[in-house]
Chain A
Amino acid sequence: MVNLTIDDKQVTVPKDATIYDAAKAAGIRIPILCHDKKLHPFGGCRMCLVEVEQMKGRQIPACTTPVTEGMIVRTMTDEIIQARKMVLELLLLKHPIDCPVCDAAGDCDLQNLTYEYKVNGNRFQDEKFQHKIDYENPLIERDMNRCIHCGKCARICDEIVSFGAYTFINRGIEAKIGTEFDGPLNCEFCGSCVSVCPVGALISRPFKFKARWWALNKVKSVCSYCGTGCQLTLGVKDDKVLTTIYDENQGFHNGQLCTRGRFGYQFINSDKRLTTPLVRKNGSLQPATWDEALGLVAAKLAEEKNAGGKTVAGLATPRLTNEELFLFKKLFRDGLGSDNVDHSAGYAHAALTAGAAESFGGTASPATVADIQASNLLLVVKTDAYETHPVLGFEINLGVKRKDIDLRVLSDKRGKLSKLPKAVTYVHKPGQEVALVNALAQVILAENLQDATASGIDGFDALKQQLDAFAPEKVAAACGLDADTIKTLARDYAKAAKALIILPLGLGYPGHGKALAQALANLALLTGKVGKEGCGVLYLGEKNNSQGAADLGLFPTAGGADADAILAGCQNGSIKTLIVAGENPVVSYPDRKKIEAALDKVEFLVVQDLFLTETAAKAHVVLPVCSFAEKNGTYTSVGRAVQRVNQAIKPVGDARSDFAILNGLLAGLTGNAPYADTTAVFAEIAATVPAYAGLTMAGLGETGAILPATIKPRFVAVEAAAIPAESGKFALVTGSALYHCGTMSRFGEGPMYVCPEGYVELCRDDAQALNVKEGEAVVVKSAAGELKLKVKVGARMPQGVVFAPYHFGEASVNSIAVGAPVTWVSISK
């Protein structure tokens, strides 16, 4: 620790602190323009100039100067104020000062400092910049005339996002922030640059001219797309969510968001929202009153209850709040006497609900998000972890670049994570993950690299015996990696002091189920890398509340039918009534044909949704529900973080929350009084679900809580499913596109501007062999059907492997992929 004096105040700070950090710790504010707590110090703007007595009164930048023992710092002398005024004068010399039409006004550091330092004139004169404004993309507007060259956009894009869209180009007075060849911006559109821009040089186009910053009501909430659980601040005016506001103090991610979080909010106030209940009359859906619609549903459920609850089933989306999911389960269990309840567990989250449940004794990851940066080695299965959970991707980037963490990627294709320094990507043949992970475990045992605790864990001997069949030499050919490479990876993992395994889950990854989750669990347990900081297995649940759905048992827990069996039941008549809350099985579950047939056949289909989805269009009753911005509740995200969602706007149209609907139906069926509010339900969750014990809604506060994990380890020997190869065909793997999550992002303008439709991605050589170019349409044909998709050509895919994202309703990839990890397809023009 170092002691110093700032403005006559004694401060003690760690020796790697800067003067700026020390002042901040002492509650002394030093003005900044180019400094950001998330980025490396830059020292470009000279706003933070201070005087240090030992440096003979020289003015030095506080943000880049390390503290030394006994330093005496003054931050507000007359000379310093003069110097800062001049810095502002010089910045304003070129700045257009078009504040009346600038969206940053009110939230502009330059404007605020100009006001604070009373710079009401300028001693200098010069021409303004005449840079062309970049309107080429629909999300980020770049007006370099307003730029003050703080370089934050270029630095955040490099240091955190690792995309590197911007740099300083040219030199001297001509220098400006530009892109490659000074062309239009073409990037991931995560908007990190917009969030850190201290002026209005980078602004969000969807928000442009929508509202003045000070007129916005700011409501803190949690993003409702992927399972990362990013906190966000919604900018609300006149009961409309107009933007998301950057708050660098929010969440583990310090306010960082991805395209979905930052630009995908428009689904909330979309014109396509359902605003009134619909009831099927004479074959078509007609607007109806809530009394009529709920009356029909209640009557049908009463009938089902009397019939014993065997012929009713429910599918709920893990996008609902914990309270809603709890009521959904309770409606079936207590109200109807049925266990036929599922979210997309069987298809997407078996890794948690079955895999982790057996291997670790609970349906949660034995690791948290904080473990990513605390580790020494990350073993990421599929580079898609960046696509499915971009903000966790930023955490990985930061860990690898700042903390020198080793990154090993086990994937069927290369990706953005492969480009990080020190990243080693092991590109294996599609669908071979389990065999490979078993081979890693085999090497660890064969070379005696296991932890001393391993042999004491249940199932050790059986595992040891079973793994013999997976010696690297035996699986190498099938996996497409040579035995020595597999051995090196196994040794690296075993020898790392701390190592964390990351596995993305989701409807797009049918191979990432129970078996893979358990194979990875075995690996972690063998090497004793569980239950310690920086270790464990982090299963990345796909949706915002996937972890909550697993915690609350939104899957058959008493022998009921799972999603697959429910749909089969609809088809064969054993399920007569189906309630679908927010799920869109037609597009997102495997085998579209089968699902459509089943939903066409079921006697009574109730769909609760925001939109008239492909599934809702088949319903007998459609109930319009509220988005996350219209309700209170909690979500549980990756790494067991429970956080509060706060209502920002009134329900759109006549929509009611799933909570209100389920609460009413449950009370009607049981004869009990309905719950007073979400707090009451959360209290019951805390009382009945062990992991939530002791939590209260109020106690969660703004930061939320991390649920405890009790680990009861067990080795489960898993067999690798054979992947029969078909010669002359392409291996199609499905997954998530960077800009989308599930099927909801299709209603967000941002993601749809950037990625409006499905595509099939292939490598340059394959494209050349097929004689197709980027953007051309091809017919992709599997045993289940065929699809017309546009081609995307890139360096990511290995030869013979093609990728297609699953989010889209038209030409949905589930009409050719029916749930196998690899689908063999032929591609023709």
Chain B
Amino acid sequence: MSNAPAEEKPTEDIDLAPANHVIDKYLTLPGNLMPVLQGIQEEYGYVPRPTIDLVAERLNVYPSQIYGVLTFYAQFHLKPRGRFIIRVCVGTACHVQGAPRIVETFFDKLGIGHAETTPDLRFTFEKVACLGACGMAPLAMVNDSTYGSMTVQKVGEIIADYNQRPMKK
């Protein structure tokens, strides 16, 4: 309750109704912070800042602690994510099968780096340590679809394919 002027928060105009709905669902559950945050990420694709203040107020948890939880777990995202999450395996098997070149090609074609999102919010690209399908190396995934035996040519085809798909789920 500082009297210092409130720090200018970047305003994100979002509808808080889905977040309120998630909180309502778990309000009386002990240890409800994780499911609430997961539910909010499910709704918005990431955890928007205004929802953190809302959760803090409604669950009576310090906003700092919520931020601590969000930054501890890799599963939470604080920035909007793309409609399509491209994940390329850089584990041992994929690495020896040429994964680095696949990664470079995605970087070139999408114009973004690791853990970044295209400005149109269509793609998010991530390198991951292992996807657990070494037999299909080198391996890429787009959301839940798997693409084995990746080649540089296939990268262009995949991007072209997903560029055609609708942004709405």
Q: A residues within 8 Å of B by Cβ?
A: 137, 158, 163-171, 178-184, 186-189, 415-416, 419, 421, 737-739, 754-755, 759, 774-775, 792, 794-796
Contact = CB atoms under 8 A, between A and B. Distances in A.
Which of B4, B64, B71, B72 has the most chain A CB atoms inside 10 A of its CB?
B64
Interface string B47-87: 00100100001001011111110011010000000000000
Given A170-B72, A171-B71, A795-B57, A179 B64 contact: yes
- Sorted nearest first, the 10 A-B pairs with minimum C-beta distance are A164-B62, A167-B68, A755-B3, A180-B63, A167-B64, A180-B64, A169-B71, A170-B71, A167-B65, A180-B67
Contacts of A163: 62
Nearest to A796: B1
B120 to A, nearest CB: 26
A419 B3 contact: no
A774 B1 CA distance: 14
Given A167-B64, A169-B68, A186 B49 contact: no
Contacts of A421: 60
Nearest to B49: A181
A180 B71 CA distance: 11
B3 A186 contact: no
Interface of B: 1-7, 49, 52, 57, 60, 62-68, 71-72, 74
Contacts of A796: 1
Given A169-B71, A171-B71, A181-B49, A738 B3 contact: yes
A181 B60 contact: no
A164 B69 CA distance: 14
B6 A166 contact: no
A459 to B, nearest CB: 41
Nearest to A757: B3
A156 to B, nearest CB: 13
Contact of A188 (B1, B5, B62, B72): B1
Given A170-B71, A186-B7, 10 more contacts: A165-B64, A167-B67, A180-B66, A181-B49, A184-B7, A415-B1, A419-B60, A754-B2, A759-B3, A775-B5
A210 B2 CA distance: 27
Contacts of A189: 2
Contacts of B5: 774-775
A242 B4 CA distance: 24
A168 B62 CA distance: 13
A133 to B, nearest CB: 18
Contacts of A165: 62, 64
A180 to B, nearest CB: 4
B71 A737 contact: no
Contact of A187 (B2, B67, B71, B74): B2
Contacts of A168: 68, 72
Contact of A169 (B7, B57, B60, B67): B67
Contacts of B74: 171
Contacts of B49: 181
A331 to B, nearest CB: 40
Contacts of A415: 1
Contacts of B6: 186, 774
Contacts of A137: 4
A168 B57 CA distance: 20
22 contacts: A158-B65, A164-B63, A164-B64, A165-B64, A166-B64, A169-B68, A169-B71, A169-B72, A170-B71, A171-B71, A171-B74, A178-B64, A179-B64, A179-B67, A184-B7, A188-B1, A739-B3, A754-B2, A754-B3, A794-B1, A795-B57, A796-B1
A180 B68 CA distance: 8
A759 B2 CA distance: 13
Contacts of A178: 64, 67-68
B68 A754 contact: no
Contacts of A171: 71-72, 74
Contacts of B4: 137, 186, 754-755
B57 to A, nearest CB: 7
Nearest to B2: A186
A367 B5 CA distance: 38
Nearest to A775: B5
Contacts of B62: 158, 163-165, 167, 180
B74 to A, nearest CB: 8
Nearest to A154: B64
A792 B7 CA distance: 13
A163 B64 CA distance: 10
Nearest to A175: B72
A183 B9 CA distance: 10
Contacts of B71: 169-171
A795 B2 CA distance: 13
Which of A163, A169, A416, A795 has the most chain B CB atoms inside 10 A of its CB?
A169
A651 B151 CA distance: 84
A739 B60 CA distance: 24
A277 B153 CA distance: 91
Which of B52, B62, B67, B72 has the most chain A CB atoms inside 10 A of its CB?
B62
B108 to A, nearest CB: 28
A181 B1 contact: no
Nearest to B10: A181
